[in-house]
Structure 1
Amino acid sequence: MPPASPAPPTSPRAAPASPSPRPRGLPHLHRPCLAAPAPPGPCLAATGPSRGRPLSRRHLPRQPPATSSRRQAPRAPGSFPAAGKPHQPPPGADSTPAPDSSLAGRSSLATPPLPVSHSPRTAGLDPASSGNIPLAGSIFPQILANKFVVIMGATGTGKMKLSIDVAKVIDGEVINADKMQIFARFDITTNKVSIHDRCGIPHHLIGVVPATTPDFHVSFFRSLATATANFIVRRNLMPVIVGGSNSLIHGLLVDYFDSSLANPFALANYWPSLRFQCCFLRIHANELVLDEYLNHCVDDMVDASLVKELKDYFDASSNFVQQTRLGKAIGVKELGKYFMGHQSYCDAIEEMKDNTQSLAKAQNAKIHHMVDIWGWPIFSLDATETIRAHINGSDHMAEAKAWQRDVSGPALNAISEFCNNFNGF
């Protein structure tokens, strides 16, 4: 039995009444770490920063159209069948998508997909929120019936917010591509988007894998996400892939997936092609501004009962970290050492901040590799001013204006241009 751990220090700020995750807005300003009863243990050094760089946009080459497999020309590997009559499940039927073996895309897995999180769609959209971009029911559903919007970026840049903004306009549904959010439990630790913050947009593959699962293979995600996307497309809706796990995005989108590749981003002579027509959107921010914001994010998660969420589980299962993939989530390992008396509370929080910043740099490096080495066409969106406006305490309207000007507006324009480039396919 592990030694009893000291209770986490209490913050002078009142904790929320419920341990549920706070809304995915920009969090409160940084607070200094409070002193806590500290068992003896080493202090960990912070990692050093490294600079990122903006990406340039390129265009995808035209690809053959996706067609029905019956009495028509064979479709390209991995492409969806042509959208026909929208699939409407009978009243009371389970909304879980059924796997289609013809769409598994060279994946050897035949495991049926797990249940998806599905919330009702809100009725009506605000035309003023999308500028001159056509709304759902206009050009988007017809032109984008067999194509993906893929939203990428470092942690904390606003990927999920953009995916919801986009899905409202193009009549889409979100497919999660975050390897930690796909697990059940630890909603605060993995920063899952709450039902309220989904704004009625259905979100798939969030919290669908049991927390006790030892590992989660990319090949399984490829099969699962392909079946889920097919479920969306057959209802004449648009899949919006969003997440910071670039290995999952690679595994889903490449034409040929080799599960023996431990790290495809480390190979100098590897140039994967895409099996789908994709509109890639990447959100980035100034590194120093993003690092400061990520520190606020950690503080905000602590305020939202992150420590209690993890301590309750550690008290029941001390071997959790060594036995499961979810044990690799930022916060589990760091606070685990605090619970076991190996480091102080303040050191654990600071280590979480350092590791979160390091994660953002690693994510950006992989995206640069996709563009510079693989030649994937990624449109870059700068959220620096939106984040800076929040850090400086600007009013909500100033943040919303910066977001629409620099992120959501250009993103919808890029999707519109993508539609025009592939009109007729």
Structure 2
Amino acid sequence: MAACNNKEKVVFIMGSTGTGKTKLSIDLGSHFPSEIINADKIQVYKGLDIITNKILESERRGIPHHLLGIIEDPEFDFTTDHFCDQVIAVVEHITQQGNLPMIVGGSNTYLEFLVEHPTLEFRSKYDCCFLWLDVSLDVLFPYLDKRIDEMLEAGFVDEAREFYQPGADYSAGIRRAIGAPELDKYFKVENDVNVDEGCKRELLKGAIKRMKENTRTLAQGQLAKIHRLNDELGWELNRIDATKVFEAIANGSAYKSLWEEMVFKPTKEIVQSFLEG
């Protein structure tokens, strides 16, 4: 979608983990002719779909998705350079089809590299609209804890076991995903008949507790980076406050109408205005 200055348009959907970026991208992608580019550095890997919260094919509403589960080698180090090379090629492909690229994810270091790196000249080539989906941390944290409990019920321990490897490097590749390092001690003794079953249960319980703590830390770090991009680098992010939606979810109240009014409607209007120049 071209602007009046002949620069193509690109929409970014940013926010801490668990704030609804994927849902918003699908809602917007169903309204505007769009294609979605994953900007989560762990979701680029194949596998760990539960732990990494990859969107299911059945939930994509036919919207093309890119950079999702494309790396098969779990130990491959997908760097910022790899990310930028892939994104730039995909953005060019999408715009050539006459569609709107939507770059969606929480790896803000990768996004900063893409937008700010002088040799890439991304800003000079594309008009950028930055959407920031925000949820107050005191509301978001209990939601993230509950999401991990739901992941446990969905089988994330079995999923992580497939990627367990004694002595594995948890600083690179897909094993950086929160959940893989935390379960290492449990998997080491899981099949050891000399280790008490109660001890094993405590190790698993401790792993889940650390997952929750590390997920909260991740959310805080992502939020700090977003503030830096907005306040120090002048990205002029369009902040959408979804806190009341998440409060409704926590209370077991109807939240879909709140999402429509407080999240989807205003972001739709922002994107429409952006596309009209």
Count of residues in Structure 1 that have an aligned counterpart in Structure 2 = 263
- Cα distance between partner residues in 1 of 2:248 and 2:159: 31
* TM-aligned CA deviation for residue 203 of structure 1: 0.7
Does the 8 Å CA contact 1:177/1:242 hold for their aligned counterparts?
Answer: yes
In the other structure, the counterpart of 1:362 is: 221
Give the gaps of 5 or more residues in structure 1.
Answer: 1-62, 67-78, 80-145, 259-271
Tell whether 2:169 aligns with 1:291: no
- Cα distance between partner residues in 1 of 2:223 and 2:172: 26
Rate the CA distance shift 1:257–1:327 in 2: closer, same or farther, 3 A: farther
In the other structure, the counterpart of 1:417 is: 273
Superimposed CA distance per residue, residues 102-140 of structure 1 (whole angstroms, 9 cap, x where no aligned partner): xxxxxxxxxxxxxxxxxxxxxxxxxxxxxxxxxxxxxxx
Rate the CA distance shift 1:299–1:65 in 2: closer, same or farther, 3 A: same
Does the 8 Å CA contact 2:9/2:275 hold for their aligned counterparts?
Answer: no
* TM-aligned CA deviation for residue 385 of structure 1: 1.5
In the other structure, the counterpart of 2:71 is: 209
Does the 8 Å CA contact 2:19/2:134 hold for their aligned counterparts?
Answer: yes
In the other structure, the counterpart of 1:274 is: 123
The structure where strand makes up a greater share of residues is 2
* TM-aligned CA deviation for residue 274 of structure 1: 2.8
* TM-aligned CA deviation for residue 405 of structure 1: 1.0
* TM-aligned CA deviation for residue 322 of structure 1: 4.3
Does the 8 Å CA contact 1:153/1:367 hold for their aligned counterparts?
Answer: yes
In the other structure, the counterpart of 1:381 is: 240
One-letter identity of the residue aligned with 1:404: E
- Cα distance between partner residues in 2 of 1:304 and 1:257: 44
Rate the CA distance shift 1:273–1:185 in 2: closer, same or farther, 3 A: closer
One-letter identity of the residue aligned with 1:350: K
One-letter identity of the residue aligned with 1:152: M
* TM-aligned CA deviation for residue 255 of structure 1: 5.1
Rate the CA distance shift 1:169–1:351 in 2: closer, same or farther, 3 A: same
One-letter identity of the residue aligned with 1:345: L
- Cα distance between partner residues in 2 of 1:227 and 1:301: 34
- Cα distance between partner residues in 1 of 2:127 and 2:236: 11
- Cα distance between partner residues in 2 of 1:217 and 1:403: 34
In the other structure, the counterpart of 1:180 is: 42
In the other structure, the counterpart of 2:196 is: none
Rate the CA distance shift 1:251–1:64 in 2: closer, same or farther, 3 A: farther
One-letter identity of the residue aligned with 2:274: F
Does the 8 Å CA contact 2:12/2:128 hold for their aligned counterparts?
Answer: yes
Q: Secondary structure at the match of 2:123?
A: coil
Q: 1:169 aligns with which of 31, 43, 55?
A: 31
Tell whether 2:265 aligns with 1:325: no
In the other structure, the counterpart of 1:14 is: none
- Cα distance between partner residues in 2 of 1:212 and 1:320: 11
Tell whether 2:101 aligns with 1:232: no
Tell whether 2:194 aligns with 1:346: no
Tell whether 2:152 aligns with 1:302: yes
Rate the CA distance shift 1:354–1:239 in 2: closer, same or farther, 3 A: same
One-letter identity of the residue aligned with 1:298: I
- Cα distance between partner residues in 2 of 1:321 and 1:404: 43
Rate the CA distance shift 1:324–1:365 in 2: closer, same or farther, 3 A: closer
* TM-aligned CA deviation for residue 254 of structure 1: 2.5
Q: 1:221 aligns with which of 59, 65, 83?
A: 83
- Cα distance between partner residues in 2 of 1:357 and 1:345: 19
- Cα distance between partner residues in 2 of 1:408 and 1:162: 7
In the other structure, the counterpart of 1:249 is: 111
* TM-aligned CA deviation for residue 64 of structure 1: 8.9
* TM-aligned CA deviation for residue 251 of structure 1: 2.2
Q: Secondary structure at the match of 2:183?
A: helix
Q: Secondary structure at the match of 1:277?
A: strand
- Cα distance between partner residues in 1 of 2:159 and 2:123: 40
* TM-aligned CA deviation for residue 149 of structure 1: 0.8
- Cα distance between partner residues in 2 of 1:344 and 1:324: 24
Q: What is the aligned-residue identity percentage?
A: 37
Q: Secondary structure at the match of 2:131?
A: strand
Q: Secondary structure at the match of 2:35?
A: strand
Q: Secondary structure at the match of 1:149?
A: strand
In the TM superposition, 1:5-404 aligns within 5 A as 65-66=5-6, 146-254=8-116, 256=118, 274-275=123-124, 276-314=126-164, 317-322=165-170, 324-341=172-189, 344-394=203-253, 398-404=254-260
Rate the CA distance shift 1:215–1:237 in 2: closer, same or farther, 3 A: same
* TM-aligned CA deviation for residue 326 of structure 1: 1.3
- Cα distance between partner residues in 2 of 1:391 and 1:416: 31
Q: Secondary structure at the match of 1:167?
A: helix
- Cα distance between partner residues in 1 of 2:231 and 2:111: 17
The structure where helix makes up a greater share of residues is 2
- Cα distance between partner residues in 1 of 2:225 and 2:171: 27
One-letter identity of the residue aligned with 1:274: R
- Cα distance between partner residues in 2 of 1:363 and 1:370: 11
Structure with higher Rg: it is: 1
* TM-aligned CA deviation for residue 320 of structure 1: 3.4
Does the 8 Å CA contact 2:130/2:236 hold for their aligned counterparts?
Answer: yes
Q: Secondary structure at the match of 1:377?
A: coil
* TM-aligned CA deviation for residue 207 of structure 1: 0.3
Superimposed CA distance per residue, residues 374-409 of structure 1 (whole angstroms, 9 cap, x where no aligned partner): 011100111111111111112xxx311110111111
